[in-house]
């Protein structure tokens, strides 16, 4: 990725493209001499990418750089990508698929690159490394024809000014087009694609067999899960979906969501099946006063509001609040929204129910967010656990006697789930656990812990394409 702010846009162009243009100028009789000056004047006032038609692979390279070097979440990088709107809907989807595949298989792909290179690529050739990653993802995991994967990657190296690396790119990809499948067959994919600290944490928490099954589930794209306002059976038929034991609808991923039946009229919303469980643990919420903390993007708020609750939805981000309001508007659901820090905000009066979906490392949602393993660290677990502890105490204080608190995170890390509840109870908080019952979850007893909490793993419901990893505990105010 270019380092925005260090150079002007024209300077970026000079640094990356001038060597190639000079080489061509020397060999072609000076035919480009007069054009170079004009070209760079234009580059100073407009993005270089705007002078060249954007491609899905070019956008994918930029997105990879944003995630792996600038450490931007993939969703944010996609939202900020300047060339993405210039692509067709199909090419946008292809760009994201390319990036997601590289991120899911990064350990395997980098091991293959290392196998082919006598010495690592230097830092200045980081984009070449990313191009090799894209090419290998296409060759070995997306089943792109070898000639297309090789040729388009070599062309991308040329277009980005890495002409001296074209031969290397060509040689590595051609070699792997022959040897790659056998090499992949011998790889320990779950271990290679999982950071060591996560593998160790999951092995300690769930056992190595489950750690392997969790990691295997992360290599597959998650299906599309849907929450409906009413008539699950009818909508399952219209959406060509199945009904999961928990009540969510599930259909294969792919296609434009906004074009599906019922989207325009607000009959349903996208929500992972595991994420839909915590709100159901309140039972009947008709006319109940409830607070949804850290509420955006609003899926759980929509569940509570559609169930008849009077909901105050709180989030500290104005941008996320705006997005939630838009989502709820499509569903014709009206709730009170508050932009504030849940740790310090106080409701006007105590309420019957509080849902706290706390900020977390999201290691349970890697199927949907393959950038997470490459962005999170053990330090993030400790930092977020401290935030969760403060939020939990604030949430307890918002409850009236007999009120219900559901605490949840989409993390697989014990520090962000059961240990938070254990600490809260050990310190004498005026709450007690109300265990979750299998009948509340369509009979899924395997996702209930010995303490009576919800603990889904990505490998649960494996015969139905899995489920996100979620923890939830239900507490009653004394």
Q: What is the pLDDT of residues 46-83, one digit of tens each?
A: 333 334 568 999 999 999 999 999 999 999 999 999 99
In 10 A of CB 171, how many CB atoms? 13
Indicate the average pLDDT of the chain.
90
pLDDT tens column, 256-276 = 899 999 999 999 999 999 999
What's the rounded Cα separation, in Å, for the pair 174 and 164?
Answer: 17
pLDDT tens column, 294-319 = 999 999 999 999 999 999 999 999 99
Residue 356, CA distances (Å) to 302, 391, 452 in order: 14, 8, 18
pLDDT tens column, 407-465 = 999 999 999 999 999 999 999 999 999 999 999 999 999 999 999 999 999 999 999 99
pLDDT tens column, 149-174 = 999 999 999 999 999 999 999 999 99
pLDDT tens column, 170-185 = 999 999 999 999 999 9
H/E stretch holding 382 reads helix 378-397
Model confidence at 32: pLDDT above 90: no
Nearest by Cα to 151 from 129, 133, 130, 174: 174
Q: State the pLDDT at residue 214.
A: 98
Model confidence at 252: pLDDT above 50: yes
Q: State the pLDDT at residue 23.
A: 35
What's the whole-number mean pLDDT along residues 234-252? 96
Residues taking part in catalysis: 410
* Contact between 253 and 223 (Cβ < 8 Å): yes
pLDDT tens column, 274-286 = 999 999 999 999 9
- Which has more pLDDT, 426 or 12? 426
What's the rounded Cα separation, in Å, for the pair 199 and 213?
Answer: 11
% of the chain surpassing 90 pLDDT? 88
What's the rounded Cα separation, in Å, for the pair 306 and 268?
Answer: 11
| Band (109; pLDDT cuts 50, 70, 90) | very high
* Contact between 355 and 398 (Cβ < 8 Å): no
Report the relative pairing of strands 351-357 and 399-409 from DSSP bridges.
parallel
Q: Which tokens is 402 given?
A: 């007999």
What's the whole-number mean pLDDT along residues 185-201? 98
Model confidence at 230: pLDDT above 70: yes
Residue 299, CA distances (Å) to 225, 228, 269, 328 in order: 12, 11, 7, 9
What's the whole-number mean pLDDT along residues 373-383? 98
Model confidence at 9: pLDDT above 90: no
Q: State the pLDDT at residue 283.
A: 97
% of the chain surpassing 70 pLDDT? 89
Q: State the pLDDT at residue 256.
A: 87
What's the rounded Cα separation, in Å, for the pair 163 and 158?
Answer: 5
pLDDT tens column, 132-146 = 999 999 999 999 999
Q: Which residues contact 382 (CB under 8 A, 6 or more apart)?
A: 415
Stretch among 17-31, 107-121, 317-331 having the lowest mean pLDDT:
17-31
What's the whole-number mean pLDDT along residues 221-249? 96
Model confidence at 11: pLDDT above 80: no
Model confidence at 38: pLDDT above 90: no
Model confidence at 43: pLDDT above 50: no
Give the phi and the psi of residue 353 in degrees, each rounded to 5.
-140, 140
Model confidence at 293: pLDDT above 50: yes
What's the rounded Cα separation, in Å, for the pair 412 and 205?
Answer: 9
- Which has more pLDDT, 4 or 440? 440
């Amino acid at each position: 990725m270019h380092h925005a702010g260090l150079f002007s846009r024209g300077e970026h162009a000079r640094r990356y493209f001038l060597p190639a243009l000079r080489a061509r100028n020397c060999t072609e009789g000076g035919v480009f001499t007069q054009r170079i000056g004009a070209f760079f004047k234009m580059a100073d006032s407009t993005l270089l990418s705007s002078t060249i038609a954007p491609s899905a692979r070019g956008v994918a390279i930029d997105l990879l750089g944003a995630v792996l070097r600038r450490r931007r979440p993939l969703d944010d990088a996609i939202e900020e990508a300047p060339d993405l709107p210039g692509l067709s809907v199909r090419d946008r989807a292809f760009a994201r698929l390319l990036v997601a595949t590289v991120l899911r298989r990064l350990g395997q792909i980098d091991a293959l690159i290392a196998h082919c290179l006598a010495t690592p690529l230097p830092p200045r050739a980081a984009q070449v490394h990313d191009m090799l990653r894209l090419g290998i993802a296409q060759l070995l995991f997306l089943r792109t024809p070898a000639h297309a994967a090789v040729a388009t990657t070599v062309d991308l190296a040329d277009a980005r000014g890495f002409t001296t690396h074209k031969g290397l790119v060509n040689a590595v990809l051609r070699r792997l087009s022959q040897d790659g499948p056998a090499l992949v067959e011998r790889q320990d994919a779950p271990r290679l694609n999982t950071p060591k600290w996560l593998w160790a944490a999951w092995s300690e928490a769930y056992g190595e067999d489950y750690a392997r099954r969790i990691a295997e589930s992360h290599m597959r794209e998650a299906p599309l899960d849907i929450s409906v306002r009413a008539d699950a059976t009818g909508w399952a038929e219209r959406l060509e979906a199945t009904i999961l034991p928990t009540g969510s609808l599930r259909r294969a991923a792919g296609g434009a969501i906004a074009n599906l039946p019922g989207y325009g009229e607000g009959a349903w919303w996208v929500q992972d099946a595991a994420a839909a469980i915590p709100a159901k643990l309140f039972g009947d919420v008709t006319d109940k006063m409830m607070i949804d903390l850290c509420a955006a993007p609003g899926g759980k708020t929509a569940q509570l509001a559609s169930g008849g609750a009077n909901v105050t939805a709180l989030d500290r981000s104005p941008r996320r609040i705006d997005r939630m309001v838009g989502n709820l508007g499509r569903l014709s659901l009206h709730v009170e929204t508050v932009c504030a820090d849940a740790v310090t905000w106080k409701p006007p009066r105590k309420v019957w129910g509080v849902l706290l979906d706390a900020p977390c490392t999201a290691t349970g949602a890697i199927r949907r967010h393959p950038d997470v393993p490459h962005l999170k660290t053990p330090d993030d677990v400790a930092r977020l656990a401290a935030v969760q502890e403060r939020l939990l105490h604030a949430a307890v204080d918002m409850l009236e006697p007999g009120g219900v608190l559901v605490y949840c995170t989409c993390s697989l890390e014990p520090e962000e789930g059961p240990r938070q509840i254990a600490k809260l109870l050990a310190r004498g908080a005026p709450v007690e656990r109300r265990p979750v019952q299998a009948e509340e979850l369509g009979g899924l007893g395997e996702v209930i812990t010995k303490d009576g909490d919800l603990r889904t793993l990505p490998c649960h419901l494996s015969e139905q394409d899995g489920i996100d990893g979620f923890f939830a505990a239900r507490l009653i105010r004394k």
